[in-house]
Amino acid sequence: MGKDKLRKFAENLTFDNLVQPEFDEIFHRDHALKGRWAADFFKNGKPITLELGCGKGEYTVGLGAADPERYFLGIDIKGARMWRGAKTATEMGLANVGFLRTRIEFIESFFAPEEVSEIWITFPDPQLKKGREKKRLTSPVFLAWYARFLAPGGVIHLKTDSRELHDYTLRVIEANGLPCEIASADIYGERLDEVDPALTLKTTYERRFLEEGKPITYLRFGLDGRRSFEMVYDE
Ligand SMILES: C[S@@+](CC[C@H](N)C(=O)[O-])C[C@H]1O[C@@H](n2cnc3c(N)ncnc32)[C@H](O)[C@@H]1O
């Protein structure tokens, strides 16, 4: 492992805004913060927004800086990327921003019913290979996990350069009759960023895709209080 990664891992241990649970804290059991994020971590009772696969946490930090009245928690498995977000939030003094280093597959261990009001999924790995549908972060498998803690009226935002993942998610939404507030095949072409300031934020991957001239797609949808979802496979 490189020295820079080791330095970041060591500094991660010093951040008050970064939680890195041990495997046995969550394997087949609930984490101590489940149902307690607002009270014990952020120390106040405000709605929580998650960014899944946050990488360097640009959305978590950007949304947090813009809205001190809400809490923002970035989740990723890669500590060296998350270091950037935790460091920036610390330097900016953002008390409403935090990071959780874990696999998203364990997400149920961390959040109690109605604890989360919004989920951003920013440029996830599209998992396009045959038979990988269940690995996609917008597959019905993951939606059923999110449904356990998303508050009534809560929304999911998917921002991706992958037209295939965008279309797959649309098919999931349609197959399950979920309410879709916005579906855009090209955020900037349709100038959606001019009406929603949240869409002006750009992640590391997004900047790369924009440089390559790729359109950036966006979906905003709800789960309609549902708990189970019909699985959708590629045709
Ligand atoms: C393509 S990157 C996008 C990062 C960031 N959202 C951006 O747009 O720059 C996908 C991120 O998801 C994280 N990731 C992928 N699968 C994950 C999983 N199962 N649990 C936690 N993080 C995951 C990776 O570590 C990576 O940082």
92's enclosing H/E stretch is helix 79-92
The pLDDT tens digits along the chain (235 residues) read 788 999 999 999 999 999 999 888 888 899 999 999 988 888 776 789 999 999 999 999 999 999 998 999 999 999 999 999 999 999 999 999 999 999 999 999 999 999 999 999 999 999 999 999 999 999 999 999 999 999 999 999 999 999 999 999 999 999 999 999 999 999 999 999 999 999 999 999 999 999 999 999 999 999 999 999 999 999 8
Alpha-carbon span 155 to 168, nearest angstrom: 18
Number of residues written out for the chain: 235
Cα 208 to middle of ligand 1, angstroms? 15
pLDDT for the residue numbered 34: 94
Contact present, 199 and 193 (Cβ < 8 Å): yes
Q: How far is CA 126 from the centre of its chain?
A: 14
Which residue has the least CA distance to atom 5 on ligand 1? 55
Handedness of CA 150, 29, 21, 52 (dihedral sign): negative
Active-site residue among 30, 67, 125, 193?
125
Cα 102 to middle of ligand 1, angstroms? 11
Ligand 1 contact, 57 CB (< 6 A): no
pLDDT for the residue numbered 1: 73
Ligand 1 contact, 51 CB (< 6 A): no
User: Mind listing the pLDDT tens digit for each residue in 153-179?
Assistant: 999 999 999 999 999 999 999 999 999
pLDDT for the residue numbered 2: 85
User: Mind listing the pLDDT tens digit for each residue in 66-95?
Assistant: 999 899 999 999 999 999 999 999 999 999
pLDDT for the residue numbered 235: 82
Ligand 1 contact, 207 CB (< 6 A): no
Cα 104 to middle of ligand 1, angstroms? 9
Catalytic residue at 186?
Answer: no
Q: How far is CA 30 from the centre of its chain?
A: 20
Ligand 1 contact, 81 CB (< 6 A): yes
CA angle at 213 for the pair 211 and 216, rounded to the nearest 5°: 100
